[in-house]
Structures are given as C-alpha cells and as structure tokens.
Amino acid sequence: MAILKYIDVGIHSVSACVPKKVVRNSELDNLIPKEDLDKTIHSIGIRERRIAERDVCSSDLCGKAAERLLSERGIDRDSIGALIFISQTPDYRQPSTAPSLQDRLGLPKTVMAFDINMACSGYVYGLSIAYSLASQDGIGRVLLLVGETMSKTVSDHDKVTTPLFGDAGTATLIEKGDGYGPSCFVLHSDGGGSDMLRVPYGGYRNPSSAEGFERKVDEEGNILGGEQLHMRGMDVFNFGLRVVPSGIKEILKILDMRIEDVDMIHFHQANRFMTDFFAKKLRFPLDRVPYSLEYFGNTSAASIPLNMVHTMYDGSFPRRRHVLMAGFGAGLAWGTAYLSLENLRISKLIEY
C-alpha cells in the first residue's frame, strides 16, 4: 500500500456545479417493474439525478465551479501553480483537457496542467497528488478539478446502471498553510477486478467498430452496446464491503486514532444501503455521515466534493477537524484520507 503524510497543507475552498436537468428514478417504470422500482429506490437511496445536455462536457461543469471559486474567494490566478483534471469523460481522447481549462480559466502559462483517468476513487487519489504538489516550494496553490458526465456512458435500457449515475463538476483549491495541520492518505489497487466496471470498446484494446456499437441483450434482459458502461453490480457491492471498512480501520491504526475520534466520514456516494452498512460495521454514528446521493446519484469521482458542498454549505456538520474520506470503484482502486476541514470555505452549488 501507499501511505502519504503531509503537514500544513489543506483544502482552502471547494465549489460544485450540476446540470439543471433533473431526472427522477420514479419515472423508470418503463425499465423496472413498479414493485421492484420502489424497492430499488429505497435500497440505493437515489431519488433523482442531474443529467448534462448533449453539448455539455465534464470540463464545462468543472470550469463553472472553478470560475465561481476563483472569483468568489478573490484568488490571484497567478498564484495557481498546478491544475489537475480528473475525469473518465474528457473532452477528447487527445489532447488532454487540463491545458484547455488552464486557458479557459485565464490561468498563467506557467501552470503545470495534466489529466488523470480515475473513477470513483479519483478524488482521494487526486487530493493525495495535489497535497504533494502544494508541498513543493515551486508550486504554491493547486486547482483540482474533478467532474464526470457518466450519463453519456450509460445505456438507458440497463436496469443496473441507469438508476445510479448522474453528472457533476467540482473545483477544489489546495494550498500550504500553518492552520491545516496533519493529513494522511492510504491508497490501494487491484487490477484483477478491472472487468467489474468497464466500457469494453472505444479505447485502443478494442477500438471503435461496428461490433462495439451493436447493442446486445444480456442474461438479465439489459440492452447495452460495447461503448457503454458494463457493471457487475453484486461483485462491485461485495468489493466495497471488503475494502472500505478495512481501509478506514487501516488508516486509524496508522494514525493511532479511534473511530470515536472522527468527526465525520465522507463516503463516495455510491449506494445508500452499502455506505450505511459501512458505518454500522464501523460502529460510527449515521448522523455524522453526510449524504447527497438522494438528489444527484453516483457522480463517480466528483461525488465527495459535491457531497461536501451540498451538505456543509449551510453550516451543517460543524465538527470538521478530524475528517475521513473513502473513495472506491473501477480499476479496481480505493483510497482513504484523513484531513481537517475546519478552515474550509464552501461556495453555493451552481446549476448550469
């Protein structure tokens, strides 16, 4: 495992942007029988999702969030030393999207800008890299942009993925500072499970082709093409149960902390039944676990910062000194973070 520790680096501010279009899971009775649909909504905890228009990309949502953060907080754009864009739905296969965001946001050409292709663990991974860069004398501040338009990857005839995924873009500013205190990241991967969540065609292993665009019916009656997300739901569920509680116990042991010392846990917003189970297994109070997936669904790597904006903007969860984050998903990859959000500045959620 990778263990990364930092002192006096932290999150200055965070913002998020979601599409205006709302899609309600109660309207999926053409796909899922009504009696099963109610049970599904209750179990996953997702009532509605935000869906981007066809011409809106992850970078557009992240750009709106970043512009709000930079303007509202009066951030000198010349103080940004690095820009990281994390997404599995970039503008193009080539080139990377981060340099275009540097230009669109009016950041100086001295900015280091690059993409990372990560799924639901992406925010924790991205923070670990941003903290590392911000620790350097030559970087200063790091702008971490995390966004997904997962709805563009999902078949609307797939009972497994359709009720789950929504779209969002987020911006997080990381900087050095005496008031941030210690932080720690513990990161893992298991590529042996990479076929649990996969878009089989459209890359360079299986390039786009007539076969890849052909829509096929699977054993559950779902209709999917090769360039759409294929997900083995129960395997993913079991993966989460196996790694997330143990990952939290692992970081607590490294830090010589008890679960009672933790003020709040931000789980990746995957499935309410699953994350409630995590908290119960850890004997952690559910009233200290913020949730936003009821309104936005699973927004992949963007879910944790979106969760922060939605649940903490109004001053809720005032105990923010000892915070854990847990991201987990496709790859397979998972990570746990310990940090403080005491000095966090949060912008009001943007609808675009």
pLDDT digits (tens, 9 = 90+) for 27-41: 999 899 988 899 999
Mean pLDDT value of segment 340-346:
96
pLDDT digits (tens, 9 = 90+) for 143-197: 999 999 999 999 999 999 999 999 999 999 999 998 898 999 999 999 999 999 9
pLDDT of residue 140: 85
* Per-residue pLDDT at 328 exceeds 80: yes
Tokens 């709000």 sit at which residue? 68
Q: Is 303 exposed, middle or buried (0-12, 13-18, 19+ CB in 10 A)?
A: buried
pLDDT of residue 178: 87
* Per-residue pLDDT at 212 exceeds 90: no
pLDDT digits (tens, 9 = 90+) for 255-297: 999 999 999 999 999 999 999 999 999 999 999 999 999 999 9
Neighbours of 141 (CB within 10 A): 21
pLDDT digits (tens, 9 = 90+) for 200-210: 999 999 999 99
Distance CA 67, CA 287 (A): 32
Q: CB within 8 A of 2, min separation 6: which ones?
A: 185, 186, 187, 188
Helix (H, G, I), strand (E, B) or coil at 228: coil
Mean pLDDT value of segment 63-72:
98
Report how far apart, in Å, the C-alpha atoms of 82 and of each of 114, 129, 130, 263, 349 are. Answer: 8, 11, 8, 30, 24
Residue tagged active-site, from 184, 268, 271, 310: 268
pLDDT of residue 220: 83
Tell me if residue 57 is catalytic: no
Name 267's bridge partners: 326
Distance CA 90, CA 303 (A): 17
Residue tagged active-site, from 17, 57, 62, 120: 120
Neighbours of 138 (CB within 10 A): 9
pTM across the whole model = 0.96
Report how far apart, in Å, the C-alpha atoms of 202 and of each of 198, 210, 226, 227, 229 are. Answer: 11, 11, 8, 6, 11
Mean pLDDT of the chain: 95
CB 47 within 8 A of CB 41: yes
Residue tagged active-site, from 12, 298, 307, 310: 298
pLDDT > 70: percent of the chain:
100
CB 122 within 8 A of CB 299: no
Distance CA 338, CA 322 (A): 7
Mean pLDDT value of segment 66-88:
97
pLDDT of residue 323: 98
Q: Are strands 80-86 and 141-149 parallel, antiparallel or unpaired?
A: parallel
Tell me if residue 120 is catalytic: yes
